[in-house]
Amino acid sequence: MGRFGMFALMGLVLLVACAGGAPSSAGPTVERIGADPGEHLDREVILAGSFKGWKGGCPGPPPVSRSDWMVDDGTGCLYVHGPLPPGLDPARPKDERVVLTGVLKRSADGVLYLDVAGRKPFFPAPR
Partner 1 sequence: MKRSFAFFALGFLFFMTACSGGGGDGGGTSPAAKRSWTFMVYLGADNNLSSAGVSDLNEMAKVGSDENVNIVVQAEFSSEYTDFTEIDQGSYNGDTIRYLVGKADAGSGFDLESGTSIGNVDMASPATLAAFIQWAAARYPADHYALVIWDHGAGWKRKGRGAVEDETSGNFMTLPDLAKGVRDSGVFVDVIDFDACLMGMYEVAYEFLSLTDYMVFSEETEPGSGNPYDTILAALAANPRMTPGELAVAIVERYDAYYATTERSEDVTKSAVDMSKIAALHEAMVTAAEAIVADFATVGAVIAAAQQNTQSYYYRTNHDLYDFFDYVDTNLVQGSVKAAAQAVKSAASDAVIVNRFRGDSVAESHGIAVYAPARNQVSTDQVVNELASYAALACNQSRGNGWYDAVVAMMENRVQDLYPGGFAFYVEWDTDADVDLYVWEPTALYAPWMGQSTPNGTFSADSIVTGTSAEYYVADDYVEPGYYDVIINYYDNGSTADYANVLFHYYIPGDPAGWRSAGPVTLDLSNPYTDEEITYPPVALNSYSDYWYVYQHYVGEEENGGLSWAQEGTKVKVSFKAKKKKPSFGDGGK
Torsional sign, CA 31, 21, 7, 26? positive
Q: Nearest-CA neighbor of 96 among 44, 61, 28, 48?
A: 48
Interaction residues for partner 1, span 79-108 (CB under 8 A): 83-84, 86-91, 99, 101-102, 107-108
Question: Would you report the helix, strand and coil content of the chain in percent, each value rounded to 5?
Answer: 20, 25, 55
Write the CB contacts of 80 (distance below 8 Å, at least 6 apart in sequence).
68, 69, 70, 71, 100, 102, 113, 114, 115, 116
Interaction residues for partner 1, span 103-122 (CB under 8 A): 107-108, 118-121
- Which of 31, 33, 45, 126 is close enough to bind partner 1 by CB under 8 A? 45
Specify the 3-state DSSP secondary structure of 15: helix
- Which of 46, 74, 75, 95 is close enough to bind partner 1 by CB under 8 A? 46
DSSP label at 92? Answer: S
Q: How far is the CB of 116 from partner 1 (least distance, A)?
A: 9
- Which of 8, 94, 126, 127 is close enough to bind partner 1 by CB under 8 A? 8
Asked if 33 interacts with partner 1 (CB under 8 A), we say: no
Q: Which residues of the chain form contacts with partner 1 (CB under 8 A)?
A: 1-2, 4-5, 8-9, 12-13, 15-17, 21-28, 36, 39, 43-46, 54-56, 58-68, 70, 83-84, 86-91, 99, 101-102, 107-108, 118-121, 123
